[in-house]
Amino acid sequence: MAELRVVVAGAGGRMGAANIRAVTSLAGLTLHAAIDRAGAPAVGRDAGLYAGIEPLGVEISEDIEAALDGADAIIDFTAPAASVALAQKAGARGLIHVIGTTGLGEADDVAIAAAASGARIVKSGNFSMGVTVLANLVRKAAEALAEYDIEILEMHHSRKVDAPSGTALLLGQAAAEGRDISLRDHSVRVRDGHTGPREKGTIGFATLRGGTVVGEHSVIFAGPSERIEMIHRAEDRAIFAHGAARAALWAQSQPNGLYAMTDVLGL
Ligand SMILES: NC(=O)C1=CN([C@@H]2O[C@H](COP(=O)(O)OP(=O)(O)OC[C@H]3O[C@@H](n4cnc5c(N)ncnc54)[C@H](OP(=O)(O)O)[C@@H]3O)[C@@H](O)[C@H]2O)C=CC1
Ligand SMILES: O=C(O)C1=N[C@H](C(=O)O)C[C@H](O)C1
């Protein structure tokens, strides 16, 4: 099979750099173009040098349409509005679109699902193998421990702009599926002041921010006289970038549609 020609979106960002390193180091992919927000400081810089590796001769560009000409796939860890716009372009051109962006609203999700009629879109709040497997374990534990209270705690670096994290919501969704309830109707995202006792059957979220933490998530099942804690600690952004690259390669042999990382891993 020919090498997959990948456009890395958000090339000037933390994940953009990790994605450039992954795409240029893994077999089966080639860096076709790198793009960033119009006017961003990375625009005009060599994508390799910006990502801390050797020069690649690929300049980070703000011209999205030119970048997509001749491309097969977009790996996109940017911002919600940018990801929706890229999904629509991927749909119009029949591309593969891997979306790692978090903080998407309901309208964004609807627009991305609509774009997937013309594209192969793989979207996940976390592209690591560890979290994808953890979500399956959480679903099973939530079902088996039907009476236990579920709390999800996450900590990320001080530059993160959305909360709860996409991963916390993904794990919450897995727990809700295990309980056969709607996460939207059962989640408690903030506690402050005189809250009263915990409402039975809810899924609580707590958010910590600070320093350079790549990403830590705990799912706590608290029952009578015992507690189970499932913890994932991300140590390097390469785990997300490698998962995204794997998703792009997997999507090559799929029909148009919207997929999750569980589909990629066959879970
Ligand atoms: N699903 C997963 O596995 C993971 C998801 N993420 C998510 O990925 C996203 C990015 O994270 P991170 O790299 O840390 O954030 P950064 O802020 O470091 O990077 C985001 C990049 O996207 C750029 N950008 C913003 N708007 C546009 C646009 N319209 N077109 C092109 N580029 C744009 C930003 O430019 P500028 O700064 O100039 O605005 C920046 O370079 C977040 O939503 C984060 O939560 C992160 C890690 C793993
Ligand atoms: O913004 C980040 O950094 C991360 N975002 C994702 C999330 O919101 O869960 C994934 C990872 O935890 C890092």
pLDDT, one tens digit per residue, over 144-187 is 999 999 999 999 999 999 999 999 999 999 999 999 999 999 99
Q: Do domains 4-123+237-265 and 129-234 have the same CATH topology?
A: no
End-to-end CA separation in angstroms for the chain: 25
pLDDT digits (tens, 9 = 90+) for 45-92: 999 999 999 999 999 999 999 999 999 999 999 999 999 999 999 999
Tell me yes or no: is domain 4-123+237-265 CATH 3.40.50.720.
Answer: yes
Q: Is the CB of 261 under 6 A from ligand 1?
A: no
Q: Residue 176: helix, strand or coil by DSSP? A: helix
Residue nearest to atom 12 of ligand 2 (CA): 215
Nearest ligand, measured from the Cα of 22: 1
The percent of residues above 70 in pLDDT, for the chain, comes to 100
Q: Is the CB of 13 under 6 A from ligand 1?
A: yes
Strands across the sheet containing 203-209: 187-188, 203-209, 149-156, 215-223, 226-234
Q: Is the CB of 215 under 6 A from ligand 2?
A: yes
The percent of residues above 90 in pLDDT, for the chain, comes to 99
Alpha helices in the chain (DSSP H): 14-25, 47-50, 64-68, 80-93, 106-115, 129-144, 166-179, 183-186, 238-251, 261-265
Residue of 64, 17, 7 lying closest to 38 (CA atoms): 64
- Residues identified as active-site: 156, 160
| Mean pLDDT of the region 251-256 | 98
Superfamily of domain 129-234: Dihydrodipicolinate Reductase; domain 2 (3.30.360.10)
Find out whether 164 and 208 touch, Cβ atoms under 8 Å.
no
Q: Is the CB of 165 under 6 A from ligand 2?
A: yes
Q: Output the pLDDT for position 216.
A: 98
CA distance 99 to 226: 38
Sequence ranges of the domains in the chain: 4-123+237-265, 129-234
45 Cα–ligand 2 center, Å: 25
Could you tell which of 8, 37, 158, 212 is best to mutate to test the pocket of ligand 1, judged by most ligand atoms within 8 Å of the CB? Answer: 37
pLDDT band with cut points at 50, 70 and 90 for residue 1: confident
**Looking at the predicted complex, does its ipTM rise above 0.95?**
yes
Residues 6+ apart with CB under 8 A from 238: 18, 21, 22
